[in-house]
Each structure stands twice: as C-alpha cells, then as structure tokens.
Structure 1
C-alpha cells in the first residue's frame, strides 16, 4: 500500500482516537498506552510480524491484540481501539497511527518534537540537558525522541521540525575529506 494511503488511514484513525480520548478525559492514559505499545513494537520482532501479517485472520489478530492489551494493562479505550483496528485489518498501520496521535497531542500541548540520533545511548541527564537547551532555543516544551546510530562515530544529529543540526563526527570527517580533495 502506498505510504500516502497509509498516512491518510493513520491520520483518520488517530483523529478518531484523539477525539474520543479528549471527550472522555483520558488523553494522558491513551498517550501512555500508545507510548508503551510503540516501545513493544520497537523491541519485539514477533509483535511486528503479528501486525504486518496478511496471513493471520481477523479473529486471530483480534485475540492476540486483546491478550496483549490485557497483559499490558491498557485502558479500555486503547484496548477497544486496538480491537477495532484488528477487526478492520488495520493493525499494519499501527506505528503510523501512534505517531499521528502523539503529534496531535504534542500540538495541543504546544510541544515541539526533537528527533536525536547519537552514536551511543544518551543518559537520562544528557537527554534532560538537551531538552532544556532546546526548550530555551525554541521557546516551548520539547519532547526528545532518541535513536542510536553507531555510524555517526560520535556527536549528535538533532532534527526539530524542518531544522537540523548535525554535529556528528561522521559528517565532520566527510567535510574534511572533501576539503582534502580540493587541496590536492
């Protein structure tokens, strides 16, 4: 399925879930459930296969997602939403739905999302310090999402909206290599 179509489906489902959660006063609970679900998707190849598999029936996906919701202790709104997504054969869109929901929530709260790539995992203190620095620079609360990219060798690549700051050692070495080519 084309990524534009997935984006449209994800936005539609995220908007519906967001509106329901807002009406029921459970935005924080649903956001916490979705953040936990996002972490599960990142950590478990089996879970990713479950949501992506066209071979599994609606019933099998529904039973699996219901069991997961119960064992994870998800709230009723999140559990029902996941059951609906399974019944409608839309679990494969789940990562995009989660991202769309969290973007909506951040926009409502006036938060800005920063995507940070580092060569090694950031400590809690480093992530907090980075968030404080970004808050000063952008004038609003910044949520920091980190990923580890060992190819960077050192330093950080920070993306906030359309802005990017690349202070990675990899990029600095590439610039040095280009400068050296110009000398010879």
Structure 2
C-alpha cells in the first residue's frame, strides 16, 4: 500500500469523526498547525523518526507538544506512532485539509505578486478564479515574489494562471525563438 493511500485512510477516518462531532473547522485548524510544526521543525521530525526512541517516548513527546489539541487529533497522531507511520503525519494533515476543502467547495490557491494583496484583491481573486475551477471560494496564500517584475501568477492545484510580466516576456521569447 502506497504512502498516499495510507495517509488518505487515516485522514478519511479522522474526517468522518470530525463531521460526526461538528468539529471540522477546529480539527482542520489543528491539523494545519501540526503540518506547520512538522514542516518547519526538522528537529522534531528527526526525533520522531529516530529508531533509537521507543514508541512510548515518541508518544509522550507528541502528547506534550500537542496537549491543547482535540483528543481525536492527538489520538490519530499517537496511532500513527503505534503503527510506525511517523513519516505520514504531514500527509495525513494534507489529506484531511483536502477533504475539508472539498466538503466546503474551497480550493487552495497560491497567488504570487510583487507586493502583499489587500483584502479586496483577495476577495476579487477568490470570486473570479473559484468560478473557473468550479469551487465556491479560494483559500489564498499570498507569496510575494520580487522576480515577477509585475502582474500576478496564480496556482490552484495543478493549474497555473500566469499574468505576470515575467511570464509574458518568457512567452514572447519562446515565440520569437520558435
């Protein structure tokens, strides 16, 4: 069984529990925190993947680190430790977030701009591009990219909408050389 299939199974089980108990928003936010912690804390990831530590020690670390979180989320993390699936923690969080977004009709989007977007600009991007991808709204992560020169580049899943000056120059160059 591939790693993504394993993560999907755990995420789906947790998602069903979240829906049953009306905890979808809370658990999604907590899993975003878990994902961020494991993405940006290579020390914690290394400790949990160390074969030198007993599973009980790893579980104590997780229980302490995420003590304020919902018990269902913590229990899922502990279950992953029990099953020696420490490497799946971020993937389970990603899969859960994807399920929650699908439930709400939301898509994750990365918007690359030369400056931070205003709230009105975020709403405009959300309403225009959500309709293009068949969603109700977009959850926008604004990434300031000084290499753009001007304009905007938007990524939703595997779709890229490139209205940046850099993209236009690259297309023009390909056209002239081709």
* TM score, norm. by length of structure 2: 0.80
Q: Contact 2:111 / 2:140 at 8 angstroms: preserved in 1?
A: no
Instruction: Return 114-123 or 73-82, whichever deviates more.
Output: 114-123
Match of 1:133?
A: 128
Superposed, 1:1-184 pairs within 5 Å as: 5-70=2-67, 73-109=68-104, 111-118=105-112, 122-123=116-117, 125=119, 126-135=121-130, 137=132, 138=134, 140-147=136-143, 152=148, 154-161=150-157, 163-182=159-178
Residue 146 of structure 1: how far off its partner (Å): 4.5
User: Secondary structure of 2:116's match?
Assistant: coil
The 1:10–1:139 alpha-carbon spacing in structure 2 relative to 1, beyond 3 Å, is: closer
* TM score, norm. by length of structure 1: 0.78
Q: Flag structure 1 segments of 5+ consecutive residues without an equivalent.
A: none
Distance 1:115 1:32 in 2: 17
Residue 131 of structure 1: how far off its partner (Å): 1.9
Distance 1:124 1:53 in 2: 44
Which deviations, in whole Å up to 9, do the C-alpha atoms of 1:74-110 show, x marking residues without a partner?
111111111111221112111211111111112222x
Q: Flag structure 2 segments of 5+ consecutive residues without an equivalent.
A: none
Residue 118 of structure 1: how far off its partner (Å): 1.5
Which deviations, in whole Å up to 9, do the C-alpha atoms of 1:5-61 show, x marking residues without a partner?
111001110011111222222222211111122222333232333444455432232
How many corresponding residue pairs? 176
